Structure 1
Amino acid sequence: MPTTKPRHAVTETPEVAAALEVAARRWPEDRDRPARLLRHLIEEGRRSVAPSVETRAAARREAARRLSGKYEGMFGPSYLDDLRGEWPE
């Protein structure tokens, strides 16, 4: 079917075949439509993975917030110039 959306090829490896078998039991109305079964599996995977991705991102933001400004003033205004002055020419 013509489309302007990107397409993705999926080879039916043993793992994909096993996933399709499970999906056919979960969505029997689409048993003979592997593309629909794959879409179901992809959507279920997204719902399963999304919360952990959001949780990790929130944890990183919280860590950055906690550390923000913690080391302020640790190095004086000429620190980089002094450090670079020690480098060989």
Structure 2
Amino acid sequence: MPTSRPRHQVTETDELAAALEAAERRWPGKSRSALIAALAEEGAKVLEREEADQLAARRRVVEANAGGFEFGEGYLDELRGDWPA
């Protein structure tokens, strides 16, 4: 089918063949090319979920530790006193 979009060649390794077999069970009747596209789309969704989960975990750590440090009055002057001008 003509397209202006880039096309990609993929060599079917043993790992890709196994992934295609699993994909074929999920999406029977699709061509191997369509299965590769479907696997890429599903993989992208997983990566996006994992990225969002990692970001949420980092935010929880930051929020859990926010405000956990107290500095007395004049602490900056004391800190700066340790450094030459």
With normalisation by structure 2, the TM-score equals 0.65
* 2:75 match: secondary structure: coil
Instruction: List structure 1 runs of 4+ shifted beyond 6 angstroms.
Output: none
- Is the alpha carbon distance of 1:72 and 1:45 closer, same or farther for their aligned partners in structure 2, counting shifts above 3 Å? same
Query: Which residue type is aligned with residue 76 of structure 2?
Result: P
Q: Distance in 1 between matches of 2:9 and 2:67?
A: 48
Query: Which residue type is aligned with residue 60 of structure 1?
Result: R
Paired residue for 1:12?
A: 12
- Is the alpha carbon distance of 1:55 and 1:14 closer, same or farther for their aligned partners in structure 2, counting shifts above 3 Å? same
Q: What CA RMSD, in Å, does the superposition of the two structures yield over aligned residues?
A: 2.7
Count of residue pairs the alignment pairs up? 81
Query: Which residue type is aligned with residue 75 of structure 2?
Result: G
- Which sections of structure 2, spanning at least 5 residues, go unmatched? none
The Cα offsets for residues 6-64 of structure 1, whole Å up to 9 and x where unpaired, read as 6555332210111112212322221xx22210122123334444444323321211211
State the identity as a percent. 36
Q: Distance in 2 between matches of 1:56 and 1:27?
A: 30
1:1-89 aligned at under 5 Å gives the runs 1-4=2-5, 8-30=8-30, 33-73=31-71, 76-78=75-77, 79=79, 81-85=80-84
Identify which of structures 1 and 2 has the higher relative contact order when contacts are C-alpha pairs closer than 8 Å and 6+ apart. Answer: 2
